[in-house]
Structure 1
Amino acid sequence: MKKPWIMTQEWHNLLFLHWPIPPDLLLPHIPQELELDLYDGQAWVGVVLFKAKRTRPRLLPPVPGAGTYLELNVRTYVKLNGKSGVFFFSLDADSPLAVKTATTGDFLPYRHARMAIEEHRGTWRFQSKRIHEHSFSEILDLSFRVISPPIVKNELEGWLTERYCLWTKPKNRLFRVDIEHDPWQLEYVKGTVYRNTMASFLPVDFPQELAITHYSEWQKVRFFPPVQEQ
Structure 2
Amino acid sequence: MAGFPITAPDLPRPVTFGQFWADLTFVHWPVRPEAVAHLYPPGTRPDVFDGATYVGLIPFTMRHTAVGTALPLPYFGTFHETNVRLYSVDDAGHRGVVFRSLETARFAVVPVVRATLGVPYMWARMRITRSGDRIRYESVRRWPRRGPRSGVTVRVGADVEPTPLEVWLTARWGAHTRIAGRTWWVPNEHAAWRFQSAEILELDDELVAAAGVEPSGDRLRALFSPGVHARFGRPVRVK
TM-score between the two structures when normalised by the length of structure 1? 0.91
2:64·2:72 contact (CA, 8 Å) conserved in 1?
Answer: yes
In structure 1, what is the equivalent of residue 6 of structure 2?
A: none
The alpha-carbon deviation at position 63 of structure 1 amounts to: 2.0
In structure 1, what is the equivalent of residue 174 of structure 2?
A: 165
* 3-state SS, counterpart of residue 152 of structure 1: coil
1:25·1:202 contact (CA, 8 Å) conserved in 2?
Answer: no
Distance 1:203 1:86 in 2: 14
The alpha-carbon deviation at position 187 of structure 1 amounts to: 1.2
Distance 1:9 1:106 in 2: 15
CA deviation vs aligned residue, 1:113-157 (integer Å, no higher than 9, x gap): 110000112111110011013x252211111011222x2222111
Question: What are the equivalent positions in structure 2 for 1:90-129 lying under 5 Å apart?
Answer: 90-105=101-116, 107-129=118-140
User: In the alignment, which of 85, 99, 102 is matched to residue 75 of structure 1?
Assistant: 85
Distance 1:224 1:140 in 2: 31
The alpha-carbon deviation at position 32 of structure 1 amounts to: 3.3
* 3-state SS, counterpart of residue 119 of structure 2: coil
**Number of residue pairs matched by the alignment:** 227
Letter in 2 for 1:162: A
2:55·2:213 contact (CA, 8 Å) conserved in 1?
Answer: no
In structure 2, what is the equivalent of residue 38 of structure 1?
A: 48
Q: Which runs of 5+ in 1 are unaligned?
A: none
Letter in 2 for 1:69: F
Letter in 2 for 1:93: T
In structure 1, what is the equivalent of residue 207 of structure 2?
A: 198
Distance 2:198 2:32 in 1: 25
Distance 1:203 1:77 in 2: 12
User: In the alignment, which of 75, 96, 103 is matched to residue 85 of structure 1?
Assistant: 96
2:21·2:227 contact (CA, 8 Å) conserved in 1?
Answer: yes
The alpha-carbon deviation at position 165 of structure 1 amounts to: 0.9
* Distance change in 2, residues 1:195/1:83 (3 Å): same
Residue 221 (str. 1) matches residue 230 (str. 2): yes
Distance 2:44 2:163 in 1: 26
1:27·1:36 contact (CA, 8 Å) conserved in 2?
Answer: yes
Distance 1:105 1:156 in 2: 32
User: In the alignment, which of 141, 155, 165 is matched to residue 130 of structure 1?
Assistant: 141
In structure 1, what is the equivalent of residue 36 of structure 2?
A: 26
The alpha-carbon deviation at position 8 of structure 1 amounts to: 0.6
The alpha-carbon deviation at position 60 of structure 1 amounts to: 4.5
Letter in 2 for 1:11: W
* 3-state SS, counterpart of residue 193 of structure 1: strand
User: In the alignment, which of 127, 147, 150 is matched to residue 140 of structure 1?
Assistant: 150
* 3-state SS, counterpart of residue 72 of structure 2: coil
Distance 1:204 1:9 in 2: 30
2:55·2:215 contact (CA, 8 Å) conserved in 1?
Answer: no
1:192·1:210 contact (CA, 8 Å) conserved in 2?
Answer: no
Query: Which stretch shows the higher mean deviation, 98-107 or 215-224?
Result: 98-107
* Distance change in 2, residues 1:136/1:212 (3 Å): farther
The alpha-carbon deviation at position 183 of structure 1 amounts to: 1.1
TM-score between the two structures when normalised by the length of structure 2? 0.88
The alpha-carbon deviation at position 186 of structure 1 amounts to: 0.9
